[in-house]
Amino acid sequence: MQKANSFKATIVSVAVPLAVLVALMWIVGMVNALLDYRLSEYGVVPRTVDGLIGIPLMPFLHGSFDHLVVNTLPMVVLGGLVAIHGSRKFLTATVFITLVGGGALWVVGRTAVHVGASGLIFGFFGYLIARAWYTRSLVAVLIAVVVAVVYGGILLGVLPFFQEGVSWEGHLTGLIAGALAARLMWKENQPEEAEQGMSEQASGPDGFR
């Protein structure tokens, strides 16, 4: 019974933060659509004071319904893989990637309005790959391999010439921010300790170690 309760608590701690994040994306997306996407004007506008507000808002603002739909599945998959490390680490990584990646985009990006959750998605990708490198955990390495095989193609999105109309700078800064988040959060973990991260259930609501 105790193990069952602990497992349920772990599932809740993994699912709830991600579900809230995705729900907010869709709620804001629906409101934005009703307003003819006028909210998208509040995205990141590099090197402008008004554009600073877009740093925390960027993941929730999309330029179209298709833009929102395309970003949802990788957000759920990659975000879910980040979330299995615990709700606290998921929230820490999400906030770090959003603020650091968005802040870097504000500094180096082209003069345009940058919107969309793709920067955060690239951040989750970078986080998962870098976490495997720093922890050398078998589970983390397996996750990184699967992520690289399934989503490795998105790395083309950091190339300036790959596709017009996308924020390749947002992709690149998000990717770097995710890798940096993993370095700061996991570098001190010993490999043998990290390998237990998926097998040992925490006693509190924070999920896996």
Does residue 35 form part of some domain? yes
Does residue 201 form part of some domain? no
Does residue 119 form part of some domain? yes
Does residue 209 form part of some domain? no
Model confidence at 202, in pLDDT bands (50, 70, 90)? very low
Note the pLDDT tens digit of each residue in 9-43. Answer: 667 777 899 999 999 999 999 999 999 999 999 99
Note the pLDDT tens digit of each residue in 64-114. Answer: 999 999 999 999 999 999 999 889 999 999 999 999 999 999 999 999 999
Does residue 200 form part of some domain? no
Report the number of distinct structural domains present in the chain. 1
Q: What is the mean pLDDT of the chain?
A: 89
177: Cβ–Cβ under 8 A, 6 or more apart, which residues?
96, 97, 100, 101, 104, 123, 126
Does residue 205 form part of some domain? no
Which of 108-112, 149-153, 185-189 is predicted with the least confidence, judged by mean pLDDT? 185-189
pTM of the complete model: 0.86
Does residue 109 form part of some domain? yes
Which residues span the domain enclosing 119? 2-194
Does residue 207 form part of some domain? no
d(CA 130, CA 178): 8
The CATH number for 138's domain is 1.20.1540.10
